[in-house]
Copies of this chain bind each other. A is one copy, B any other.
């Protein structure tokens, strides 16, 4: 395991490292709670082998292919499918070699940490990936994938996952989740209600989505009350299949609190296609408050992650579609934007609202001050580009003093890359222990408190916050 320093990410001065190691040893083997992610439920319902190393590590992971693309490697050569179905590289080994040749680009990135960890711990690879080792590692991983102990359910069990939530369109049949539930396998894989496609008037095929939404629920989604009822029914359906949360990926954190009449009028305007860009934004804003109200009623935990300018390069979106690494963050203003929603529901003990941000300046300035006083509000972990050692460290340093540990919700991996799940949780555990050790070493926390906090951040808080 040449690639993995056993003390990696822990403090480097001996005394602090010792403290961190002790904290880490206590919690490193705790079960994984994965309350937010993007793995495919079909993996677990069907339990078929993963195809090949490139399709496991490269093509599904936009963190990986965006970096390669930034240095001039074409998406075609990396096997990223074209929207029009035109042929792209389909030879896994060729893709893998290209990846291996440029592996130096990932130095000091979290991708490198995760991939080294997965190759080493999941597949037992002891060499560093490079041009020289590419073929041997490819063959080894491919061999593994053909074996039963590398099937999705076997890995799920081996990774020690206690619960894993996927993210699912409000229009999904959830057939895989139903199959998992009805199967003898006892792995807990649950859906999350993600209604963006029936909430955002700018979504592709919004009108058609509303029609499907009506079909699925038997509600008249051309009527404001029917539309809201459709949400209520689908939320219940998700809940019956295990869901404990909703997830909302809006361009901004704007919320609104219109009168029922104004909200109904706005709905009819945007539904009929007569809405301006401002109307669309206002509708999204109003719907966050509606969703909060439904969470008060049905108990689903509400997650919001705003502030990404999606599909920044028009040409890439046209040729390859969404999720190609071109979602770029922008500054946001939570203090003003969340005011309508918080004013309506922020003091309600039945609401748990978890906010994620891609604008780190809001941690200390806005989110920690708000989460440190509003009972409904919790700060989601550092994520996306900040799901990284430095990102996590900045997160703790910026939020703890104002919001404490207990207004945060533990880690989530948010990933499509299944084999990176243990690696990602391990990084979070190490960085949290490093932070706690620093607090202990500098006399700000005693050791027994630190040990309890380490346990809480790893295990108790995500279970509690997500009602798992």
Contacts and interface: CB of A to CB of B under 8 A. Distances in A.
A236 interface: no
Contact of A403 (B70, B309, B342): B70
Interface string A368-384: 11111111010000000
A74 to B, nearest CB: 10
Given A347-B313, A369-B385, A449-B107, A404 B67 contact: yes
A110 interface: yes
Contact of A66 (B8, B312, B372): B372
A5 B442 CA distance: 8
A179 to B, nearest CB: 36
A349 interface: yes
Contact of A401 (B361, B390, B404, B445): B390
A109 interface: yes
B70 A365 contact: no
11 contacts: A12-B16, A69-B373, A70-B403, A106-B404, A107-B404, A108-B401, A313-B343, A313-B346, A328-B335, A361-B361, A389-B444
A42 interface: no
Contacts of A9: 442-444
Given A5-B443, A331-B365, A389-B442, 4 more contacts: A9-B444, A108-B404, A312-B370, A328-B369
Contacts of A449: 104, 107
Interface of A: 4-5, 7-13, 15-16, 66-67, 69-72, 104-110, 112-113, 128, 309, 312-316, 325-331, 333, 335-336, 339, 342-343, 346-347, 349, 358-361, 364-366, 368-375, 377, 385-386, 388-391, 397-398, 400-407, 438-439, 441-446, 449, 452-453
Contacts of A388: 401-402
A108 B407 contact: no
A444 B373 contact: no
For A404, A405, A441, A446, the residue with the greatest tally of chain B CB atoms inside 10 Å of its CB is: A404
A99 to B, nearest CB: 14
B368 A404 contact: no
Nearest to A128: B446
A12 B401 contact: no
Contacts of A369: 327-329, 385
B330 A375 contact: no
Contacts of A326: 373
A360 B361 CA distance: 8
Contact of A442 (B12, B361, B445): B12
Closest 5 CB pairs of A and B: A8-B443, A5-B443, A388-B401, A12-B441, A66-B373
A110 B403 CA distance: 11
Given A107-B445, A108-B400, A389-B444, A365 B330 contact: yes
B385 A402 contact: yes
Contacts of A108: 400-401, 404-405, 439, 444-445, 453
